[in-house]
A and B are shown apart, each in its own frame.
Chain A
Amino acid sequence: MKNKEPLFSKNNLKLITNPLSKDNPITVQVIGICSALAVTAQIKPAVIMTFSVMFVLALSNVIISILRKTIPAQIRIIVQLVVVASLVIVVNEFLKAYFFDVSKQLSVFVGLIITNCIIMGRLEAFALTNKPWLAFLDGIGNSLGYGLLLIIVSFFRELLGAGTIWGYSVIPEYFYNLGYENNGLMILPPMALITIGIIIWIQRSKNKNLIEGK
């Protein structure tokens, strides 16, 4: 092993930076959307969701990557589901113990990390064919890309919908006296979809390579 790559070589770092923009899991790969929409009414649950996904994705990527030569191809989905489900149980119990109010708010969506396409998608597309360290970086990168989008969406929804950021109100009283009102619609589910639609629009008009169709 003469030409061993350094741990943070250029190619390895790309695994982390690509998912942040041009290979973003949500806006480009279109995976992991369900939870991205449902938990973004406020910033705090979005951040906690990001860390939960990061934990599950990075560890399951590593575990599957270590086992990749021993798992028979026909039953790999079940094996992956078992690994992911056990990690999610750990996360769920941890959240219940230390962040009870947020875990109530996230309700079923912590459990739904199991079937979050981002996890299965990365396991299938990357961890099954790559070494553990690369799989780990890929997991971290993709969950950061996922988290970035979650935080952008939740920032706008919380700011416009409730006038707060991380639960602190940031819009001065003065504005309200002038007749400004919070837009309650932003908190409701449909605006999550429309916000992501607009983010995709902005991203694609900046980066022409991503445009679909003719």
Chain B
Amino acid sequence: MEHLFNIFIKSIFVDNLVFSTFLGMCSYLAVSKTVKTSAGLGIAVVFVLTITVPVNYLLENYILKQGALSWLDSSFSDVDLSFLSFIMFIAVIASMVQLVEMIIEKYSPTLYSQLGIFLPLIAVNCAILGGSLFMQQKQFDTISEATVYGFGSGIGWLFAIITLAAIREKLEYSNVPKPLRGLGITFIVTGLMSLAFMGFMGIKL
């Protein structure tokens, strides 16, 4: 349990998807104009990451990895399909996003109308594919670790986009040099936030 909590905290603060690996930057910069919309996108990202990371974990460990197919027959033990992982992961993500969209539409129309426009965009958000690729690299032992990692990374992303949106709302009223307005100052603010997050580096719980 303690171990899982450690992974959770680490994926939020130390390995934050935005600040330490720059994943999901495009939508992070484009959508963070107001807190409300960015919260919507953030929640959708948490949702999709929590589902796709464990699914891809199963895929990786029971189909793609070298020797992963040995549960079928011992003669498959030296089959290595890991070169297919990109295309498999992206297929899982795209179909999961579609599935999640349909389920939400059926059971919670209010949530659907809030997330609506963001869900299809998520399939091509690098944070989602990045989550799965980092999961592959970190080689977790159990599926619960992978799930917690996915959930934690999502929360970290949500946290980052909401803070940036809050800062940008305030920036509207400040006197920024003209050429720096908009995109430029957003980059610099994100850089400073990322510097602050460096303080969490190397923390062990």
Contact = CB atoms under 8 A, between A and B. Distances in A.
A115 to B, nearest CB: 4
A37 B83 CA distance: 25
A211 B184 CA distance: 10
Interface stretch (B4-12, B17-25, B35-43, B145-153): B17-25
A201 interface: yes
Contacts of B194: 189-190, 193
20 contacts: A27-B183, A30-B30, A31-B26, A78-B91, A85-B87, A89-B84, A111-B86, A114-B90, A115-B129, A115-B130, A116-B126, A190-B19, A190-B194, A190-B198, A192-B22, A193-B188, A197-B185, A201-B184, A211-B179, A212-B181
B73 to A, nearest CB: 26
A191 interface: yes
Interface size class of A (residues with CB under 8 A): 35 or more
A37 B22 contact: yes
Interface string B46-85: 0000000000000000000000000000000000000111
Interface stretch (B99-107, B108-116, B117-125, B155-163): B117-125
Contacts of A13: none
A34 interface: yes
A34 B26 contact: yes
B174 interface: no
A67 interface: no
Where chain B touches its partner, the secondary structure class is helix
A200 interface: yes
A150 B30 CA distance: 20
Nearest to A112: B126
A205 interface: yes
Contacts of A212: 181-183
A182 B94 CA distance: 44
Contacts of B21: 38, 189
A204 B133 contact: no
Contacts of B25: 33-34, 37
B128 A115 contact: yes
Q: Which 8 A-B pairs have the closest CB atoms?
A: A212-B182, A193-B191, A197-B187, A204-B179, A194-B191, A205-B179, A197-B188, A108-B133
Which of A31, A194, A197, A198 counts the most chain B CB atoms within 10 A? A197
B85 to A, nearest CB: 8
Nearest to B177: A201
